[in-house]
């Protein structure tokens, strides 16, 4: 018999009661967000932006995935846009758990590292991180939506799920390979032996069977991209609004837009010329 630790170290210490509670939390959140019947995917970023001051920025370090913290009554969240896009989505869902249900992490702050989202063999996570990962998987790949998608593909519980179908599920849900495999096991569509066998297949390398199949089918290749997005919760809109209302100078607008590597011309903003007109020149000469 394959041990549970061989299948998924992340969920090793979660009791059935905790798993049921996490499932209830996810259903309640999806219902309150009116997202119970669809694919959440990149909308998870919008949700994160609704409940926190959300930032994205590319830090060229695959180990740093994100962080959450609370300061002076405000909640801040960050996702590293340098990591693969599918990992960004999962990290965002992971951080939502801490924002909604983990006051201690918010109070003390948390740097989310890659080894938390995808633990290496033998790594033991804190229970709160195991719960956050399980919550993220449930949120991004809800049971009913997953089963509907499997029904559409004529896949029944106990079938040998093909890699082609798994790659298509990855694209539909915007989730990493291992997350889809674990969800298939959790809803009892595959057994322990199948789960263990599928988890042994390399999925991250450029020439891994999963990456090659994505290229061959032309499905989900974008999920591996490093988007390098720079986003600061409404900064661009607020800066342009302030400029339109003459609350900030041209130089200030240029500076604020430069933070996200943009310029006024990117938003069709025509800056006033810097040269003095005739009247201003005469006034300057007279004062001299």
The string of pLDDT tens digits covering residues 76-109 is 999 999 999 999 999 999 999 999 999 999 888 8
The more confidently predicted of residues 186 and 279 is 186
Q: Which 3-state string (H, E, C) describes the chain?
A: CCCHHHHCHHHCCCCHHHHHHHHHHHHHHHHHCCCCCCCCCCHHHHHHHHHCEEEEECCCCCCEEEEEEEECCEEEEEEECCCCHHHHHHHHHHHHHHHHHCHHHHHHCEEEEHHHHCCCCCCCCCHHHHHHHHHHHHHHCCHHHHHHHHHHCCCCCCCCCCHHHHHHHHHHHCCCHHHHHHHHHHCCCCCHHHHHHHHCCCCCCCCCHHHHHHHHHCCCHHHHCCCCCCEECCHHHHHHHHHHCCCCCHHHHHHHHHCCCCCHHHHCCCCCCCCCCHHHHHHHHHHC
| pLDDT of 153 above 90 | yes
pLDDT at 284 over 80: no
**Considering the entire predicted model, what is its pTM?**
0.86
Q: How much of the chain, in percent, has pLDDT values that exceed 90?
A: 71
Task: Assign 2 a pLDDT band (cuts: 50, 70, 90).
Answer: very low
Domain spans in the chain, listed from the N-terminal domain onward: 4-224, 234-287
- Give whole-number Cα distances, 65 to 95, 134, 196, in Å: 10, 17, 26
Q: Which residues, including other chains, have CB under 8 Å from residue 203's CB and lie 6 or more apart?
A: 176, 177, 178, 209, 210, 211
pLDDT at 9: 44
Round to whole Å and give the CA distance between 98 and 104. 8
Angle at 260 between CA 258 and CA 263, to 5 degrees: 45
Cα 223 versus chain centre, distance: 11
Q: So what's the pLDDT on residue 266?
A: 92
Mean per-residue pLDDT over the chain, rounded: 89
Statement: residue 168 has pLDDT above 60? yes
Q: Read off the pLDDT of residues 199-256 as tens digits, 9 standing for 90 and up.
A: 999 998 889 999 999 999 999 999 999 999 999 988 999 999 999 998 988 889 999 9
Sole residue written with tokens 């041209």? 250
- Find the mean pLDDT for residues 160-168: 95
CA separation for the pair 227, 42 (Å, rounded): 12
Give the whole-number percent of the chain exceeding pLDDT 70: 89
């Amino acid at each position: 018999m394959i041990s549970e630790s061989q299948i998924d170290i992340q969920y090793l210490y979660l009791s059935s009661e905790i798993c049921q509670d996490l499932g209830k939390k996810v259903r309640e959140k999806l219902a309150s967000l009116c997202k119970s019947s669809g694919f959440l995917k990149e909308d998870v970023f919008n949700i994160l932006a609704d409940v926190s001051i959300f930032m994205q920025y590319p830090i060229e370090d695959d180990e740093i995935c994100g962080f959450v913290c609370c300061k002076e009554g405000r909640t801040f969240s960050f996702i590293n846009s340098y990591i693969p896009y599918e990992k960004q989505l999962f990290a965002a869902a992971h951080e939502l758990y801490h924002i909604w249900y983990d006051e201690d992490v918010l109070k003390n702050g948390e740097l989310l590292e890659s080894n938390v989202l995808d633990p290496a063999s033998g790594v033991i996570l804190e229970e709160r991180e195991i719960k956050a990962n399980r919550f993220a998987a449930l949120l991004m790949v809800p049971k009913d939506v997953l089963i509907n998608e499997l029904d559409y593909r004529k896949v029944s519980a106990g079938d040998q799920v093909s890699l082609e179908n798994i790659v298509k599920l990855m694209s539909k849900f915007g989730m990493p390979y291992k997350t889809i495999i674990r969800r298939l096991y959790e809803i009892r569509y595959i057994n322990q032996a199948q789960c263990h066998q599928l988890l042994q297949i390399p999925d991250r390398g450029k020439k891994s069977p999963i990456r090659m199949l994505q290229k061959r089918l032309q499905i989900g290749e974008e999920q591996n991209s490093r988007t390098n997005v720079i986003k600061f919760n409404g900064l661009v809109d607020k800066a342009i609004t302030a400029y339109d209302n003459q609350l900030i100078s041209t130089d200030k607008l240029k500076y604020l837009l430069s933070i996200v590597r943009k310029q006024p011309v990117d938003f069709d903003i025509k800056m006033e010329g810097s040269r003095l007109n005739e009247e201003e020149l005469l006034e300057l000469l007279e004062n001299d």
